[in-house]
């Protein structure tokens, strides 16, 4: 579970929505929270500042640190924390770098932050920080979308089972998102049971021209293999530790599409009919690894995760998996065989 949760704040009400979400996670998991405010020093132009300018800069930074400390104290004062362990920290420097340094120092398990914060130009700064952390952080990053109904306590969200959509590509790297996603959904859904829907989008090999039907046969064979793979994962999550103790409802489906990212976005945000596999309801969030298959297709998986993160209106858990030994990519090999004369 998530024992140490870090919430970077920028002083805005939007960013504080992440604090409310992190409180729910910490309460359910018995974890502790740290609120982090990073103060950025003024830029030094041309690598030079006069002595009096340096002194003024020092005073300005000290003032900003005091304001940051007062702000964090105020955030804690207006929230009913119910005895929950919460601490605050102020750092000076570049936000993304300082967040990662602090997270490493205290061995954080989860980063929770809003995708946008202060208005004006600062809004884009926080957005870029979230993107950087999602791309490079070895720690799972949960990016909250401002005013999302799941976290606004709406009656509609309260009557639905909280479900996360977890895209997989058949590789151990993509499976790195499974345990963090399961633990996150269990915490946010508590005291009710949450749900995970595993989806494998098989990228179609172009079938024109396909005089012999061999490419179509490869597409069908991969779909069959994908269904068997997801069924095995589904069964494991319902019976083995640590998943079984979370009491999640786990389901899965396979679809073939030429645009993997667009399909995942559509099915996550709107749900849809999956033929004989039934109907998938819209999900409350998306959880996925930043990398999947080895070889060239690994980069495809990374770009899919970034496309979804940039386009989705849903909260998204991004997990950067540890590297595994390089293995032949069966999907890439199959494509190569299909295009051989």
- Express each pLDDT in 276-295 by its tens digit: 777 889 999 999 998 755 54
pTM above 0.85, yes or no: no
How confident is the prediction for the chain on average, in pLDDT?
Answer: 79
> In Å, how far are 17, 36, 198, 223, 293 from 169, measured between CA atoms?
32, 35, 10, 11, 7
Confidence of residue 339 (pLDDT cuts 50, 70, 90): very low
Query: Between helices 178-189 and 214-239, what is the axis angle to 10°?
Result: 50
- The answer to whether domain 4-144 and domain 156-338 are alike in fold is yes
pLDDT tens per residue across span 141-157:
999 887 665 654 443 44
Separate counts of helices (H) and strands (E) for the chain: 10, 12
Of the pLDDT bands very low, low, confident and very high (cuts 50, 70, 90), residue 134 is confident
Of 82, 142, 83, nearest to 315 by C-alpha is 142
Name the nearest CA neighbour of 256 among 208, 299, 308, 221: 221
Residue pair 293/171 in contact by the 8 Å Cβ criterion: yes
Is residue 28 within 8 A of residue 186, CB to CB? The reply is yes
| CATH 3.40.30.10 is the classification of domain 156-338 | no
Q: Helix (H, G, I), strand (E, B), or coil: what is residue 68?
A: helix
CB 281 within 8 A of CB 251: no
CATH architecture of 4-144: 3-Layer(aba) Sandwich (3.40)
Average pLDDT over residues 195-205: 86
| Best CA proximity match to 197, nearest among 176, 182, 214 | 182
Predicted confidence band at 274 (pLDDT cuts at 50, 70, 90)?
confident
Q: Residue 200 pairs with which residues in a beta bridge? A: 254
Strands (E), 151-294: 163-167, 195-203, 249-257, 272-273, 279-280, 285-289
Give the pLDDT confidence of 99-112 residue by residue, as tens digits. 999 999 999 999 99
Domain limits, the chain = 4-144, 156-338
């Amino acid at each position: 579970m998530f024992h140490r949760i870090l919430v970077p704040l920028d002083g805005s009400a939007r960013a504080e929505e992440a604090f409310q979400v992190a409180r729910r996670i910490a309460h359910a998991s018995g974890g502790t929270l740290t609120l982090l405010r990073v103060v950025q020093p003024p830029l030094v132009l041309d690598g030079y500042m006069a002595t009096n300018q340096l002194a003024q800069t020092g005073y300005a930074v000290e003032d900003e640190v005091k304001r940051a400390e007062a702000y964090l104290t105020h955030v804690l004062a207006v929230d009913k924390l119910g005895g929950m362990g919460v601490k605050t920290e102020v750092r000076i420097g570049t936000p993304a770098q300082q967040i990662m340094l602090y997270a490493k120092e205290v061995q954080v398990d989860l980063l929770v932050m809003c995708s946008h914060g202060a208005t004006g130009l600062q809004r884009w700064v926080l957005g870029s920080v979230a993107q950087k952390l999602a791309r490079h952080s070895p720690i799972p990053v949960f990016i909250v979308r401002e005013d999302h109904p799941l976290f606004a306590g709406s009656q509609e969200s309260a009557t639905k089972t909280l479900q996360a959509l977890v895209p997989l590509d058949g590789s151990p790297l993509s499976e790195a998102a499974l345990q963090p996603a399961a633990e996150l959904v269990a915490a946010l859904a508590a005291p009710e049971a949450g749900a995970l829907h595993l989806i494998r989008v098989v990228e179609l090999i172009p079938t024109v021209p396909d005089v012999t039907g061999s490419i179509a046969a490869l597409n069908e064979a991969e779909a069959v293999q994908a269904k068997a793979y997801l069924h095995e994962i589904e069964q494991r999550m319902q019976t083995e530790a640590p998943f079984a103790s979370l009491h999640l409802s786990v389901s899965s489906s396979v679809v073939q599409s030429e645009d993997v990212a667009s399909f995942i976005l559509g099915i996550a945000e709107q749900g849809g009919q999956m033929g004989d596999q039934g109907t998938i309801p819209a999900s409350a969030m998306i959880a996925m690894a930043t990398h999947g298959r080895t070889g060239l297709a690994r980069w495809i998986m990374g770009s899919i995760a970034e496309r979804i993160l940039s386009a989705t209106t849903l909260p998204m858990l991004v997990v950067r998996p540890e590297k595994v030994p390089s293995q032949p990519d069966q999907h890439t090999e199959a494509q190569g065989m299909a295009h051989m004369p």
